Amino acid sequence: MSRFVLLLLLFFVLTLCVGVLLSVTNIKGTQAERRNAQRQKDVEVIANRVEAFARRNKTLPNFSSTLQQLGTEQTGCKLSTNTCDIQNDSCFDLHFLTESKDLSLPSDILIGTYYKTGYGVQFDHAKQHLTVTACGAENGQTIQAERSFIEILQPTISNAKK
């Protein structure tokens, strides 16, 4: 009888350990999904602010054609992650796009700060196309927001004829 109780107790402890392990794994996955959802919102905020700036001023900041980290640091902005390979050592400062009611740009919850946000930006000058990338994206995801500025920056045909 005591062996039966011992085996039953051992089975219970093993089942409990497996259950805890599975729930911890699931919690980590859920947390990563929430962080990725926030990153998607953040890249949209950044892209929307650049678009609003372009509409107001009919111009864009002097973006690089290579991926460059957003932030205020002058050096140390190289970043290599699963989704970004930033070789430019200086950050691109877009904080002038913020309005007085919101004094900062978003920064990645795990790898970003005010000085180095963990978000990258690059601009295809030929296509007038902006891409904002979340460099800290998890679970193999690529998180980006893209905007085309052809209609905003180039006068329309109808306006050119007037």
Check whether 80 has a pLDDT greater than 90: yes
Provide the pLDDT for residue 153.
77
Provide the pLDDT for residue 11.
72
Tally of structural domains, the chain: 1
Provide the pLDDT for residue 56.
87
Name the nearest CA neighbour of 112 among 142, 133, 135, 94: 135
Provide the pLDDT for residue 69.
95
User: Which of 3-7, 15-19, 89-93 is modeled with the greatest confidence?
Assistant: 89-93
Provide the pLDDT for residue 154.
75
Name the nearest CA neighbour of 68 among 53, 79, 60: 79
Pairing of strands 129-134, 144-148: antiparallel
Name the nearest CA neighbour of 52 among 159, 152, 154, 155: 152
The tens digit of pLDDT for each residue in 22-47 reads 555 566 678 999 999 999 999 999 99
Provide the pLDDT for residue 12.
72
Average pLDDT value for the chain: 84
State which residues form the domain around 143: 2-161
What percent of the chain is modeled with pLDDT above 90?
55
Provide the pLDDT for residue 162.
46
**Over residues 91-119, mean pLDDT:** 83
The span from the first CA to the last CA of the chain, in angstroms, equals 98
Provide the pLDDT for residue 10.
73
Check whether 106 has a pLDDT greater than 50: yes
Provide the pLDDT for residue 99.
60
Check whether 100 has a pLDDT greater than 60: no
The tens digit of pLDDT for each residue in 133-162 reads 999 999 999 999 999 998 887 764 334 444
